[in-house]
Chains A and B, each alone.
Chain A
């Protein structure tokens, strides 16, 4: 009896939470089919007439096809660099002892605590100008990779939780560090990599200020967030909320895809593997 009531309770909680979390998204989707006036005046839930042309306009006239493409490049690029750079460092710091290790660990933890907020953007931009990277895709990807304290620590904690036996055995067998890293550590880290990668992807995907600064003079390189702000003020001077919602809905799709990909990887990951 308690079992059944417990189950009912569980499902009530799960479903109510799901409904509350989905409601705003549903509203965004419905809103994306409304006219601007309908939306701003706050009318009924459903659009009076389903404005399919919102999507057509956003995709073609507002050049969302280009923005989506750019966003994909930046996000995939930043995800790969973040995961690569941080996992390399996390592995070395977690598994190797070398002079300066303690210092490095100290610096990384300091980096995790000390955030200068938007201030970082100004000096970092100067550096990129000095390096001549402020106009390139690469510069943007590097900026989005950032100093990455948190990612490092998630991976660091994860690698530390993996038993040392496996890689020590491999070391004794004469395997190279890179072999151990890529063939033993990385696969075991897969759940963490999935999470970190997903977060890095999302961070890059939703980043606004940074790409705004870096792609100002090159509209053809702008990602979707900047594009969204662009259509906010269309012709006529009024905020085009309806088109923003349309853009937001379009921008959601690749992220959803990415989530399904990543989710698969760490749901199916057999936890037993971690124990070796």
Chain B
């Protein structure tokens, strides 16, 4: 009995630092937002109880829902572009390949830069008027493309997000691939399995749990990223690339110096709650489905 509690105490000791951080930096902010979403609070003066005002406002805020829709477009685009390439790179670089360390380094390079800074560079590449990309297109006789206009800006943002994400996910996939014992491949090779077959019948199933986690991370980070968009287009032109967390950012930290955008902590809290709910439901749904699929296959 005493031994048991001693073991428990040990375990508690191990988790204490993490619990403290989680409570102060994870749970408390949620409670804080839970409180202020019912208040009329602009960041100064008195916070006045406002009942369901902020929550009702969520439903009539067309811009918010546009932003949420944009986020889905952005997130799916980013994942479709990023994950297959990252997985393929990881598989190729996990095999015996000359110069694979150098290549890994190269693919990882983009993730080193802060996205905010790189957006400046991407502007130089993509800007319609004299961007590098259009100069190249002109050189090979193709018409210039307005990369940052209403129709294309989202695509451009997705390309940039993929640029910053591929190295990341390649690394995660690699870490997962390292967990697959080499002899499984070796015996498959002896059996004459081709590369593609080995990929589908060994790599993917063996990656299983790691793949699940990586997918989940990818979904969440795609839904929550906004920094690069903020610097490149600021959500424009005219809201075409406004994603939901950028909208939240603008509500909480209106940066313009005039009074064109009002800080609104109360409504911001309600928006933050809604966004957390959306991301939570989507990832939960994903986990549920992937578990179902796993059950079917195994």
Interface readout for A1-32 with B: 1 if CB under 8 Å, 0 if not? Answer: 00000100010011001101111110110010
Question: Does chain B have a CB within 8 A of A93?
Answer: yes
Which chain B positions have C-beta within 8 A of A236? none
A244 touches B107 (CB 8 A): no
B178 touches A119 (CB 8 A): no
Q: Is the interface of A mostly helix, strand, loop or mixed?
A: helix
Known: A28-B118, A206-B114. A260 touches B105 (CB 8 A): yes
Q: Is the interface of B mostly helix, strand, loop or mixed?
A: helix
Known: A42-B127, A92-B11, A146-B25. A119 touches B268 (CB 8 A): yes
A21 touches B109 (CB 8 A): yes
Partner of B14, one of A92, A118, A127, A228: A92
A28 touches B268 (CB 8 A): no
How far, in angstroms, from A247 to B121 measured CA to CA in the complex? 13
Partner of A120, one of B25, B85, B116, B210: B25
How far, in angstroms, from A212 to B10 measured CA to CA in the complex? 38
B88 touches A117 (CB 8 A): no
Question: Chain B nearest CB: distance from A204 CB in Å?
Answer: 11
Interface readout for B108-128 with A: 1 if CB under 8 Å, 0 if not? Answer: 111111111110111011010
Which chain B positions have C-beta within 8 A of A45? 132
A116 touches B18 (CB 8 A): no
Question: Chain B nearest CB: distance from A22 CB in Å?
Answer: 6
In the complex, what residue of chain B is closest to A116 when comparing beta carbons? Answer: B272
Partner of A115, one of B10, B85, B130, B220: B220
Which chain B positions have C-beta within 8 A of A244? 117, 120
Question: Does chain B have a CB within 8 A of A175?
Answer: no
Interface stretch among B29-37, B57-65, B197-205? B29-37
Question: Does chain A have a CB within 8 A of B195?
Answer: yes
Question: Chain B nearest CB: distance from A99 CB in Å?
Answer: 7
A24 touches B268 (CB 8 A): no
Interface size on B, residues (CB 8 A): 87
Question: Does chain B have a CB within 8 A of A39?
Answer: yes
B275 touches A117 (CB 8 A): yes
Which chain A positions have C-beta within 8 A of B268? 119
Partner of A39, one of B88, B105, B124, B163: B124
Which chain B positions have C-beta within 8 A of A152? 18
B111 touches A42 (CB 8 A): no
Which chain A positions have C-beta within 8 A of B2? none
Question: Does chain A have a CB within 8 A of B237?
Answer: no
In the complex, what residue of chain A is closest to B108 when comparing beta carbons? Answer: A259
How far, in angstroms, from A248 to B283 measured CA to CA in the complex? 34
How far, in angstroms, from A13 to B92 measured CA to CA in the complex? 10
Which chain A positions have C-beta within 8 A of B129? 42
In the complex, what residue of chain B is closest to A171 when comparing beta carbons? Answer: B7
Residues of B258-279 contacting chain A, CB below 8 A: 265, 268-269, 272-273, 275-276, 279
What are 19 sample pairs from A and B whose C-beta atoms fall under 8 A apart? A10-B92, A21-B106, A91-B14, A92-B12, A96-B14, A115-B276, A116-B29, A117-B224, A117-B275, A119-B268, A122-B265, A147-B22, A147-B25, A148-B22, A192-B175, A206-B114, A247-B117, A263-B105, A267-B101
Apart from the given pairs A98-B11, A146-B25, A274-B179, 16 other A-B contacts in the complex at a CB distance below 8 Å: A18-B103, A20-B163, A24-B118, A42-B129, A42-B130, A114-B30, A115-B220, A143-B25, A148-B22, A195-B172, A198-B171, A206-B114, A206-B115, A208-B114, A251-B113, A263-B104
Residues of chain B whose beta carbon lies under 8 Å from any beta carbon of chain A: 7-8, 10-12, 14-15, 17-19, 21-22, 24-30, 32-33, 85, 88-89, 92, 101, 103-118, 120-122, 124-125, 127, 129-132, 163, 166-167, 171-172, 175, 178-182, 195, 209-210, 213, 217, 220, 224, 227, 245, 248-249, 252-253, 265, 268-269, 272-273, 275-276, 279-280, 283-284
Q: Which 5 A-B pairs have the closest CB atoms?
A: A147-B26, A42-B130, A92-B14, A89-B18, A123-B32
